[in-house]
Structure 1
Amino acid sequence: MRKLLLILVSMVIVVLSAACTNQKEKASEQHEQKHKEAGEDVTIGQVIKNGMEINAVYMPHSVEVAPVEKGGKEGNIHLEADIHATADNTFGFHKGEWIPYLTIKYKIHQADTNKVVAEGQLYQMVAGDPHYASNVNISESGHYELIYEISAPDLARHVDDVKGFYKPMTLKWKFEYKDSK
């Protein structure tokens, strides 16, 4: 009888665990779908490098952020870096997991004049899903280049289990910004 009760309890735990995982996945998918349907995310570029999928996107408006000093400054776009582990990463994350504790510096310059129009840091934030972002001001429509400088995570690791992190990397994308005024 006791053995049967243990089996039943184990089955209930497995079913509940699967249901919770499915709900999390559905919530994340719904959040992504909502932004896509609203046409909010504008893709700048994507790269798979050093065991990570790195997506550079922006929303064509600023977002209210708290605390303000963590990316809530005035701006007309909300610049983001969505960074998730790939299956071949060697630093202890499961495929699809968000990579925390990165330092991401950005610089945007006009492609034709090379004039820097914005630079700063993207901050960890959450809005249904964790990402890095900051409100940024681009004053006029035109062709630009975005540069991300991404440092290794500020994260301790078990040396026997997790190989070393990658060296800092610089990523560049050209994009066109169209002022929506």
Structure 2
Amino acid sequence: MRKLLILLLSIALFVLLVACTNQKEKASDQHVKQHTEAEKDVKIGRVNKNGMEINAVYMPHSVEVAPVEHGGKKGNIHLEADIHATDDNTFGFHEGEWIPYLTIKYKIHRLNTDKVVEEGQLYQMVAGDPHYASNVYIPESGDYELTYEISAPDIARHVEDVNGFYEPMTLKWKFKFKDSNNY
């Protein structure tokens, strides 16, 4: 009986060690994946406003998008808005949750000129995580300003549970664009 108990405890300890090792490997793999994905994104700006963390980033190449009419046009970057609820939001989302049903219009203009080089809408997309994005064409390296006009979510709410949504907002960031095709 004692040998059986020792054998069962040994098996349990072995299973526990394997499970812990697998968890460490999964955590390590997740960290590598996040690090690799972060290397792909070029940060433009970030702000916490109206109960949301709003990140403006781009990938230095376009991506294939389906359906094409939802941000899959030709471009040399993939412009994104990553928008998640903060803990102080009053419209029913848990901290860290992605905010769906926004309308996000963007405009990019070359600094020191009035020339708008690109404007349009960012669309809801998924690629491992939900975000808003569109392929965009910026004609040359230089200094630019990105403007996002973000409307309130187009979603119904329980009035007794969720406060009203915010008024539409305009956010602006200056950024330096380096066209990788020219270098």
Query: Which of 32, 35, 58 is equivalent to 1:33?
Result: 35
Provide the residue aligned with 2:135 in structure 1.
Answer: 135
Provide the residue aligned with 1:3 in structure 2.
Answer: none
Kindly tell me the number of residue pairs found equivalent between the two proteins. Answer: 156
Provide the residue aligned with 1:86 in structure 2.
Answer: 86
SS at 2:112 equivalent:
coil
Distance 1:149 1:135 in 2: 17
Question: TM-score scaled by structure 1?
Answer: 0.82
SS at 1:68 equivalent:
coil
Note the residue ranges of structure 2 that are not aligned, 5 or more in a row: 1-22
Distance 2:62 2:125 in 1: 14
Amino acid at match of 2:175: F
Amino acid at match of 1:43: K
Runs ≥4 residues deviating over 6 A:
none
Note the residue ranges of structure 1 that are not aligned, 5 or more in a row: 1-21
Amino acid at match of 2:67: P
Provide the residue aligned with 2:96 in structure 1.
Answer: 96
RMSD of the alignment, in Å? 1.7
Distance 2:31 2:53 in 1: 17
Provide the residue aligned with 1:18 in structure 2.
Answer: none
Name the larger-Rg structure.
Answer: 2
Write the deviation string for residues 56-107 of structure 1: whole angstroms up to 9, x where unpaired: 0000000000000000000000000000000000000000000000000000
The Cα shift of 1:112 comes to 1.2
Contact 1:105–1:121 (CA<8 Å) still a contact in 2? yes
Change (3 A) 1:180 1:95: same
Distance 1:158 1:88 in 2: 18
The Cα shift of 1:33 comes to 2.5
Provide the residue aligned with 1:157 in structure 2.
Answer: 157
The Cα shift of 1:32 comes to 3.0
The Cα shift of 1:146 comes to 0.2
Provide the residue aligned with 1:6 in structure 2.
Answer: none
Change (3 A) 1:29 1:93: farther
Amino acid at match of 1:32: Q
Provide the residue aligned with 2:117 in structure 1.
Answer: 117
Change (3 A) 1:43 1:100: same
Question: TM-score scaled by structure 2?
Answer: 0.82
Amino acid at match of 1:111: L
